[in-house]
Structure 1
Amino acid sequence: MVVPPIHAALEERVGHTVPKSTVYRLLARHGWRKVSPDTRHPKADPAVQDAYKTTSGISGRAGEGG
């Protein structure tokens, strides 16, 4: 994530606490967009997911399998 290090640097630079919303607004003014969340859950188990894919009959592609 980009915001925490920028937030810390900004607080150090100005010498007092700054709300995180200020950092988000600053980044938005400069054309930065909010980063999308991770596509994978931290507790996800790839082996279990692969086993499910092979036994469920779902191919993972639109219009196929079922």
Structure 2
Amino acid sequence: MQTITTNHLQLTAVVWLVALLCLINMGLILAFIPFVVFKISATFLAVGVTELAMVMTRRSIKSKRLAAYFSV
């Protein structure tokens, strides 16, 4: 079984940071830019990156649980 490494935790943290920045960017674009194309692309980017961050976090939590279960 693959254990969680420091690199994976750092990568997950960076992906969450990018997701947060994309969500802030989406909010600013939705508030201040009148062009629909930019609004749609910003929304897709923010949702996609946030979904990636959630999947990466879910995978690391699941592997931590499995590691704790099998180490007992």
TM-score where L is the length of structure 1: 0.33
Larger relative contact order, structure 1 or 2 (CA cutoff 8 Å, min sep 6): 2
Larger Rg, first or second structure (1 or 2) = 1
